[in-house]
Amino acid sequence: MTFRYLTRWVFCTGLALLPCTAQDAAKVTLQFLSFPRALNPEPVELLVGEGKTIKVEIPTHEVSAPYKVPLQAVWAVGQTVDGNDGKPAFTVFGQAKAMVSTEQLILLIRKGKANADGFEVIPIDNRLSEFGGGKFLFMNAAKIDIAGMLGTDKFVVKPGKHTIIKPKIDPGIKGLCNILIYFRKDDQAKPFFSSTWPLSAAARGLIFFYHDPDTQRLRLHTIRDFP
């Protein structure tokens, strides 16, 4: 093989590989988690391109299996229905600007009992460096301010917001961490929850605060996940 032919072969082969490489680079991995809890939550469709959707599971007691999809500017979930012209049309239940992270956890906060009631869509950077083992995500889906202390770390979470904390281990408590939670009422901090949680470099925690739809009492829902 002459040098000139070899050069042409490498150049042409490189061109042939460019679309695949670019396509792979534009792929991201998504996982889903919905809230409040549901016994058998119905899946939703995720818009992954012009007129293209895939069905994704949105469990409430664990993080979903991963889905590798093309990166979009916006993550939109919904349902394909027949439009007025008889052609398929995508009805959006919720959407949010996508992150640039290659791994994202999509939190879907329900606005009602049915998927069609809508979702608040919250993308979280799901890379191990950002939300890996030993960290806790606190999501405030309630209507009041939440504050607390995890180990020696203090935090405040406003309604509709979240924070991720990697607590420092309390001196003398190996593998465990004290947790104290308060809520704001009449400009005063009221105690809500206290416990001791296990710490593990392999596990992470997701904690949701919400008001019970029947009693309107403040509740919390915890999930332990192994990324």
Average pLDDT over residues 68-85: 92
- What's the distance, CA 65 to chain centroid? 12
Residue 2 has pLDDT above 70, yes or no: no
The residue assigned the tokens 């009693």 is: 215
Tell me whether strands 204-211 and 136-140 are parallel, antiparallel or unpaired.
parallel
For residue 172, what pLDDT band results from cuts at 50, 70 and 90? low
Confidence of residue 170 (pLDDT cuts 50, 70, 90): low
Tell me how far apart the alpha carbons of residues 29 and 99 are, in angstroms, rounded to a whole number: 11
Take residue 30 and report the two structure tokens written for it: 């998504």
Encode pLDDT of 102-143 as tens digits: 999 999 999 988 999 999 999 999 999 999 999 999 999 999
Pair 107, 121: CB distance under 8 Å:
yes
d(CA 68, CA 97): 18
DSSP E strand stretches across the chain: 27-35, 44-49, 52-56, 67-70, 74-82, 88-97, 103-110, 119-125, 136-140, 146-150, 153-157, 162-165, 176-185, 188-198, 204-211, 218-225
The per-residue pLDDT for 25 is 46
Sheet holding 188-198, edge to edge: 153-157, 146-150, 176-185, 188-198
pLDDT at 19: 43
Q: Are 16 and 28 in contact (CB under 8 A)?
A: no
Report which of 137, 200, 128 is spatially closest to residue 164, judged by C-alpha positions: 137
CA gap 205, 163 in Å, rounded: 12
Q: What is the DSSP letter of 43?
A: P
**Tens of pLDDT along 14-69?**
434 334 444 444 899 999 999 988 878 999 999 999 889 999 999 999 999 999 99
What pTM was computed for the model? 0.83
Q: Which domains does the chain have, with CATH numbers?
A: 26-127 (2.60.40), 132-227 (2.60.40)
Residue 44: name the closest of 89, 76, 66 by CA: 76
List Cβ neighbours of 109 (8 Å cut-off, separation of 6 or more). 34, 35, 119, 120, 122, 139, 141
Q: Which amino acid is at 129?
A: S
Q: Which of 88, 83, 92, 90 is nearest to 111 (CA)?
A: 92
- Left, alpha or beta for 102 (phi > 0: left; psi -120 to 50: alpha)? alpha
Average pLDDT, the chain: 87
